[in-house]
Amino acid sequence: MTATFYSEESANRRNSFLLALVVIAFLGLLGFAIGYSIGYANGDPVLWAIGALIIAVLFGVLSALASFYRGDQLVLASSQAQEIGPQQAPALFNVVNEMAVAAGVPMPKVYIIEDPSPNAFATGRDPQHSSVAITSGLLSKLNREELQGVIGHEMSHIRNYDIRFTLIVGVLVGSIALLAQIFLRYTFWFGGGRRSNNDNNSGGGGLAVIFLVVGIVMAILAPIFTTLVQMAVSRQREYLADASSVELTRNPHGLESALAKLAADNESLHSANGATQHLYIVNPLKKLGGGSALFSTHPPIVDRINRLRQLTGDSPMDPTEVRQLTGLE
């Protein structure tokens, strides 16, 4: 079983790293196309293109650094999470401490979100500066074994540095969307840096038009591309954290039962939004992942449960169990 955990961790880390490189490459290409089309109107498109590429990448890096140091506090504030002490929830603190010891990480700060919808997330820049947030609904609806599975999942995000990765990737894809909007507005108001008709007959005019078209297409597709990247990164990390949670608790049935309860619960998490939904253990806006799985921040819960069963050699969910889980009977 240990070999299975390590192989799953290795595959997901590699895929997530490659996705991050794709995001940065797209950011650079978008900057290059923007710079070339603007620079053509100013007489030196290559210089402008290189400068815009450097600025685009630096903008993404600086945004990621800002997120690195303050992003977790913004997430917790937007989620209306309140820090608590061991006196307020001794059973919860006991489980969190237990899972922190198992994961070999420092005890994170603990936050409560007053909401009946059962859910949880972890955030922070590293294990030494981490936090876990749990809804009041999670505490009231899960037993200790299920709570261990959920906290083990979140502690795995902390141990595996998923908390840092998701903050940085989230800002990078946001940078792409922002640059795309700037370019589209520039093109609309200033014509994308067009020169006079005589200048457009010169040799560089055709290339400038090509870069202008490429830039516009990339800018239009940027929101779709960034959404797909963010969703894919999040799904990979959820599979990894599920497997790692079983490694920490040595009890796959606790997390499996918790996921089933979270899927069946119909309460809405009012403090969640599109910017933070990917952080939670299950999507607070779309728990069952209805519709296209391509645009879901999380893998379908049925798939997650079946992967947990595969790790332990159990049979996958049969059609009756699936119908019960999704409320079809």
Structure-token pair, residue 108: 């994170």
Q: How far is CA 51 from CA 84, 216, 251, 272, 290, in A?
A: 48, 19, 54, 38, 43
9 is annotated as an active-site residue: no
Strands (E), 179-252: none
55-86: b or e for each residue (b if 16 or more CB lie within 10 Å)?
A: ebbebbbebbeebbeebbeebbeebebeeeee
Catalytic residue among 154, 238, 247, 256: 154
Structure-token pair, residue 322: 């699936």
Q: Which residue has the tokens 């083990």?
A: 152
Give the full edge-to-edge strand order of the sheet including 81-83.
81-83, 109-113, 129-135, 120-126
Q: Specify whether the backbone of 280 is left (phi greater than 0), alpha (psi in -120 to 50) or beta.
A: beta
d(CA 34, CA 153): 41
Q: What is the DSSP letter of 115?
A: -
CB 16 within 8 A of CB 237: yes
Catalytic residues: 154
